[in-house]
Structure formats: C-alpha cells, structure tokens
A and B are shown apart, each in its own frame.
Chain A
Amino acid sequence: MGDKGKFELENRNEDPINYASSVSDWGFGGANLTNTSIGLVPKVNPMAVSKGGLIGSSSCSSTSMVDAFGPTIWDHHANSENLGFCDNGVQKNASTSDTFGIRKGDPVALRSIDKTFDMVWNPTSSMLKGDIFLTNSHAMLPQRLTPFPADSAFIERAARFSCFNGGNFSDMFNPFAVPESMGLYSGAGGVMQGTQEAFAGSGLKSVSGGQSQKNEPSVGEVSKDVSLSVEHGAAGGSPPKDERSQSHVRSHEESKQRSGGSGNDSDEAELSGAGDQDEPSVLEGAGREPFARGLDSRKRKRNGQDAKLDPAKGAARQSGDCAKDNTEIQQTGDQNPTSTTNRSSGKHGKQGSQASDPPKEEYIHVRARRGQATNSHSLAERVRREKISERMKFLQDLVPGCSKVTGKAVMLDEIINYVQSLQRQVEFLSMKLATVNPRLDFNVEGLLAKDILPSRVATSSTLGFSPDMPMAYPPLHPSQRGLIQAGLPGMGSSSDLLQRTIHSQLTPMAGGFKEPTQLPNVWDDELHNVIQMSYGTSAPSNTQDEDGSLPSGQMKVEL
C-alpha cells in the first residue's frame, strides 16, 4: 500500500484531480469515502487537493485528540495558528497543489493518512484547508515534509502569525502562565504591537463592515488579545505606573480597533484616560472600597451628578474610569447591575475637573461600529462583553485543551471541569499525604537531602512527560530552572545557601523534626557529592545560567 501510494503520488505531480482518483483507488476505509471522493472530483481543484491535506491534518488533529492533556503545547500552537489561517480562505488553495507536488514519495505520511482518514472527513470544511500547512509543519515530524512552497504571501502571513503566537505561546510554557505571561506579555508587547498594527489595518476594515455585536473578527480578537495581554500585564500586580502605561497601550489598541479607522484622537485620549484606572480598580476587587461608595455610585447613575459627588469622595484618581463605570452602570441596566456595583465600588471618585461637562462626555468614548446601535446601553454592553471575551481568551491559554474551543459556554464548561479536577486532586493528594505521613512532620530537609535526586529524576520525568497526567506539563522544567534562580540568587556555594534557605524556612519548626542535627551533616556530604557529580567541571556560577542549572535544579526543584 505504501509503495503503491508512493507511486501514485509521484505520478500526480501536476494533477490534483488525479490525486483525488487515486485516493478513491486506495480504497480507504469507509464506503462513503470513495463515494464522496468521486463526487468531489469534478469540483474545483483546491477541494480535491485539500482532501489530501485533510488527511495530513486529520492525523495531527487525531494525535492532538489523543493526548488532550499531555504535552499539547505544540498542538495548541499549531491549532491556533490553524485557526488564524483558516480565515485566509481560498487563496491558500492555490498553493496547496504545489505542496502536494512536493510532498511525494512519503510512505510514512501515507500510513498516517491511512490511519486517520476515517476519522476526519470533511471535504467542505474550509477550516481544515487552513489546517493543512500548519498541522503538517508542527504536529507531524519534520522529516515527513519538505518545506513549504515559497509563497511569499504565505510566508509573510506565517511570520506574522507565528510572531504573534510566539509571544503568546511561549508564555504557555509556564504552568503558571497567569503571572509569568503577564510579564512576558508586557515585554513582548513591543513585538506584538508591530503585528497588531498589521492586524488592526485589516481588522478595522472588517470592523467597519458591520458585524453583529457578538461576533468579533479574528483579527480583532488578535488585537484584543494583545490588549488583553498588555492589560493582564497590568493586572499582574505591577506598580501603578506600569499599569498606567500598559493600560494606555491597551486602551490605545482598543481605541484603534474601535474607532473604525476614523482616527479620532479625542476618542483615543478619552479611552486611554478612561482605561487608565480600569486595571487597578479591577485588582482592588469589590471588597476594597466601602460599600457606601457602591451605593452612591448607583445613585450617581440616576442623578448624573458625578462631578459633584466624586470630588466629595476626595479621590486622587483620574476621571475616565469612573465615568466609564457610570456609563456601564447606566447602560447595562438590569442585565448585570451587580457587576457595575462591584466595579464602581472598587473605584475612587473622579476628580471634579470636568464638573460642568454633560455626562456623556465624561464617559468613555466608545465609537459604535458601523451598522450597530449607537444606544449608550449597547455601547457599554459591548465594552463589557469585549472585556469578558478578553479574559476568556486568557483563560484559554491557562486551561489545557481549550485553544480549539470557541464560545463562552464550552469554554466555561472546560474551565469548570478543570477546576473540579484540580480540586479533586488536591483532596486526593492531601489524603495521600495524611496516610503516608503518620506524624505530619514533613521533614523538608530530609526530603531534600535524601530524596531529591532520585525523586527529582522520577518526578520530573513523571511530571514532565507522562501524558496521562493532566498536570504533566513539560513547561515544568523551565519553571524549575526559574526556581533555582529565584531561590539561589548569587550563590557562592550552593550547599551553604540551600542549607541556609531551608533552615530559615524551618526555624519556626522546632518540634517535629527527627534528628535535626544529624541531617545537616548528612546533607552536606550528600550535597557535595551531588554537586560534584552534577556540575562536573562547571563552576558554581553556572548555576545561574539556565542551561547549566538543570543538574543543580534537581537539588532545589522540590520547591
């Protein structure tokens, strides 16, 4: 079968329709397959070619289906890129024939095709057309494919998307993507800005094309993701100054995206001023502000006397955010009033600089997209929805197996399942610890000294590479190395510092230690041995280095 396939592939260099017929000749499983392939032959070439591409992509998607929780980082990467590419639509198909001309004589690919052909058969799916290239490139082994055709537009798009996604998904490699990725996002914001502007250009066009309120263009989502990332960089607890600058960027992006190409400077200024306090207020949470303020803000919505009340609050913050909140309060009405209450309660009153302005101008200026209602209700509602979708995208990165999912309901479902499974794991592990440890004296020193190396090897392998464990992320390794750097800053002698840190942690624990005095000595010896073994000839200063620190990482990685 493989040889025959090879032969046929070689024969159908320029003729995709031939390929389609050869597909039917191969007689893959599923009677309907042959029928449909025959039926498709008279169709446009790209369709026939895309079938073969589907095969390749289906193999990849099947693999991604199989290990849903496993090291799916690259699958996520690939799939998200696929989604991005799907929107490019038909013009890709022109180049597909070239790819298939190139991809000949590849029996391995054919075998995978054989396996997976039954699973995914959707020739009319334009999504999978986009899947062709990227799943092939990322999920399949590289030696299976020759490089893509030198389609300049294709490469440019790939560069653009990979640039964007690279920033996105390098963050996924951290298991705690939330805090780290925020920093990385803010750092990579510069990079993403470039791509985002490219997106914004096309995105704005589609924005002005008048979409429904619920739908957001993929590009718009992309740009929103950038803003989200920047925004969450702010939300990560960075000092207010950083938050402001980042939210400036974010609001700038949002305003760019919303203004529909009209380039209204006042809008942007308002937005940036308005978005300024958004993040810090979000951070503060509902409970931070006294409740009276929440009530007052609700009253403010009725009276519209923001300016008068806010200076009375004596807040030092700027106006825009509170105004925006008031807009939301007014507009969301019954839909989600608690949200506005909580949010406004989290905000300080604004300064009375614009006391005399009519209420509308104090609020955030969100330009309505073409074809949408300009009702202030719906505007604020849309702002709120966009924020929610931004957060959801962030959650998508955090929860495994969610990058393919679109739509709030399914995303929420995934999140719920994930949280439940994590909670159950915690319960189970705490029970296990209780049984394993009869006296509840977790001898951290002893653990580290005696078991860190063998256990670390074992646990790192299990944690890192067992696909059946939902928590087994390869990203654990980078975080472990990060641990070393965090825990052993500027160490002269690793063993001393380790001891010092552990001891400092454990000094309150007077009671439960078994043989506290003996262990440090044991540990010293073991550590020295270990260090000599692991370092070899490298100097201790190498432990600071990411790559060199893996051996020493095994020491501390328990933490």
Chain B
Amino acid sequence: MRSPSSLKQEFLKRWMRGLQRCTSSKKDMNVLERKKVIKLSADLAIASARNGTTSWSRALIANASRDNDNRILAERILGPESDILIKRVSTSVGTVSCNRKIRSKKILKRSCNSVRRVRKGTHLPQKVLAKSIAKRLVQKRTQILKRLVPGGEFMDELSLIEETLDYIAYLRAQVDVMRCIASATELINHD
C-alpha cells in the first residue's frame, strides 16, 4: 500500500538522483533548460516509482522518450534501469496505438448511432432532453480530462477515473515536495 510519506520519499530520492545524473555533464544551463530538466526528472522519478503499473506513468515515460533530444536526457535520468523501463513502456505503447484503431472504429459507429437517434425523436420529453444534455456535458468533460491525464486518450471511463486518482496523488506529492525544497532553498540563499 503506497503511503503518502513513502511516496514522497521515493519521489525525492529518485528526483535528486536523476537531477544529479543529468547535471553532472552540463555545467551551465539557462533558466528554461533548468526548468525543463527539473520537471522532466521529477516526472520520470515518479513515473519510475510507479514502475509501469499505471498507465499514466507509462505514458509519461513514453512521451519523454519520444522526442530525440529528450530521449537522451531521459535515459540518463532514469539511469541503469532505463532500458528495462523503456522496453516495458514501449510494449504498452504498442497496444495503445492499436487501441487507437479500434477506437476510431467505435467513434464512427457511435456517431452513426447518435445521428440515427436524434433523427427519430423530433420532440423529446423534457427528461430525455435533459439527460441527453447531461450526457453531452459529461462526454465533453471526459474528453478534456483525457487530454489532461497523460496517456488517457485511449482509456475507457472507468480506468480513466482510476488513472486520474493515481495521477492526482502523484501531482500532490510532487507539488508538496517541490514546494518544500523551494522554500528551503530560498531560506538558504537568504542566509
């Protein structure tokens, strides 16, 4: 059972390790680069902490390794276990792309059905109308959520919600740890 404290500790450990690994080479970077490195290492830290058990972590790693320039950085950050992780991620990414095909077929079918349904009932009773409106709203928002959560585009509602739960927990851990470090660093610098 992942407790929040161990989550934070794990995250911090990996994050520091990753940062050290990638700063050892380059000596000076501008602010944006640093920010990118920080964020990237944080993302990868938590994603590797999950060890590919959750979809969003896999998607994060996959995204990180997709661009070539990031890939080297990511590999370095992940360290020795990177190849295992990336391999695992790539297999899952394969299924994701296949899911895409199926999903497009579903979308096509669904749109046909909905068109048919709309044509049938010209004047629907209030309740049904309200229901359909609510359904549209929910669908729209689900789409947005899918875009937000990494790797969420190809999941059904149920797993999407679970992924969101996990992702929220991770984001909170990340924010807390980063905030602590930031404030502590500020205090150091002010001394």
Contacts and interface: CB of A to CB of B under 8 A. Distances in A.
Nearest to B185: A436
A282 B54 CA distance: 10
B53 interface: yes
Interface string A454-473: 11001100110000000100
B37 A291 contact: no
Task: Give the most central of B12, B175, B191: most A CB within 10 Å.
Answer: B175
Given A343-B156, A426-B42, A440-B38, A214 B13 contact: no
Contact of B182 (A183, A286, A429): A429
B17 interface: yes
A338 interface: yes
Contact of A426 (B4, B39, B93, B142): B39
A487 B182 contact: no
B17 A429 contact: no
B183 interface: yes
Contacts of B131: 214
A311 interface: no
Interface string B135-152: 001100110110011000
Interface string B159-191: 101101111110111111111111111111101
B83 interface: no
A429 B178 contact: yes
A336 to B, nearest CB: 6
A444 B38 contact: no
Nearest to B161: A391
A510 B142 CA distance: 46
Interface size class of A (residues with CB under 8 A): 35 or more
A22 interface: no
A384 interface: yes
A108 B165 CA distance: 41
A558 B123 CA distance: 61
B126 interface: no
Contacts of B178: 426, 429-430, 433
B163 to A, nearest CB: 9
A119 interface: no
Contacts of B37: 434, 440
Nearest to A346: B159
A172 to B, nearest CB: 12
A55 to B, nearest CB: 33
A312 to B, nearest CB: 20
A430 B42 contact: yes
B137 A285 contact: no
Given A180-B1, A430-B178, 20 more contacts: A175-B176, A180-B4, A235-B162, A285-B54, A285-B55, A287-B96, A341-B99, A341-B102, A415-B168, A422-B175, A425-B171, A430-B38, A430-B42, A433-B35, A450-B188, A455-B187, A458-B183, A462-B183, A511-B20, A559-B5
Q: Which 4 A/B pairs are nearest by Cβ-Cβ distance? A: A339-B156, A287-B92, A176-B4, A434-B34
